[in-house]
Amino acid sequence: MLWRTLPLVSVREAGHIGAVSAEARDEILSLRSAGIPPKMIARRLGIAPHLVAETIWAAAAAQPRPAPAEPRCWVNAGWSHSVEAPRDRGWDDVTPTGSDVNGRGLVQVAVAASRRDRRTVSFCGYLLDVHCLGVKDALGPRSMEEDALEDFIELFFSSWNSPPVPVPFDLARELVFGAASFAAGLGFAPHADFRRAAGVLGPPPQEISIKFGSQGRPFYMSGPFDDPDAVLRTLENTVGAKNFDFAIGYPDQSRSRDG
């Protein structure tokens, strides 16, 4: 075996309690890098096993850990039709097809952070109303196998005609936190699950370069599960009746109002 071919070197401790000399440390780490088990190192060098173990642990702890990879992110094709994003950030979009092209104010974001085992990911998703309500829905964190991620992404964006666009992490963060902040200024809280799902994004960016709203104004388009009266009352209280636009998307939600 390999350890039998190594020279027998004695570096017994002389008065060192709870620590080893620099020479002994180098011998311990050299033998350990050759694959010698800690107990065998202790016997060969005449050092207490716990000191050998502590030396190995301390050396491992002192090694710089690689920075975790940024989460992978996706956004629906045509996201840039619904917000005003700076052109110098490298945030590309693709031309969507069908009804996706109208910039309807909805943006969907998916984020997958790899776990340490590299075999599983933590997935979070967000449905954003970037013109008014902010984070309308949030999903996650959901743990899944790396092999299952591609199919889940396809399912997550299945309501869109075009496949999602891979985007940088900083864009995903600005879209999600920016939409939440914009809506908060109008009086709307994010979805109840947002606090849990936001963890994968890290802290909010210090500055938001994306502009939300429609042509500089809040624009509310009612959804099937909204309470339009409550939303419009909130907007009247926060920005004033003449400072927002709205459209009632479902006949049974309509009410007589001047825009």
Domain assignment of residue 35, given as a range: 20-63
pLDDT score for 1: 41
Same domain for 91 and 202? yes
DSSP letters, 52-87, are HHHHHHHHHHHSPPPPPPPPEEEE-TTGGGSSB--T
Same domain for 52 and 174? no
Q: Between 49-62 and 22-33, two packed helices, what is the crossing angle to 10 degrees?
A: 80
Same domain for 130 and 165? yes
The structure tokens 């693709």 sit at: 94
Same domain for 158 and 103? yes
pLDDT score for 168: 95
Same domain for 125 and 209? yes
Phi and psi at 16, nearest 5°, equal -85, 120
Same domain for 30 and 125? no
Same domain for 119 and 39? no
Closest CA to 163 of 239, 103, 75: 75
Query: Does residue 1 belong to any structural domain of this protein?
Result: no
Strands (DSSP E) found in the chain: 72-75, 106-114, 120-129, 134-145, 165-167, 219-221, 245-247
Question: pLDDT per position in the chain (259 positions), as tens?
Answer: 443 444 433 444 434 445 678 888 888 898 888 888 888 888 888 888 888 888 888 888 887 765 567 899 999 999 999 999 998 998 989 888 776 666 579 999 999 999 877 789 999 999 999 999 999 999 999 999 999 999 999 999 999 989 999 999 999 999 999 999 999 999 999 999 999 999 999 999 999 999 999 988 999 998 888 899 999 999 999 999 999 999 987 666 555 444 4
Same domain for 26 and 94? no
Beta bridge partners of 111: 73, 124
pLDDT score for 14: 39
Same domain for 147 and 49? no
Same domain for 171 and 197? yes
Query: Does residue 231 belong to any structural domain of this protein?
Result: no
pTM: 0.72
Beta bridge partners of 128: 107, 135
Same domain for 94 and 148? yes
Query: Does residue 228 belong to any structural domain of this protein?
Result: no
Same domain for 95 and 149? yes
Query: Does residue 37 belong to any structural domain of this protein?
Result: yes
Give the count of domains, the chain.
2
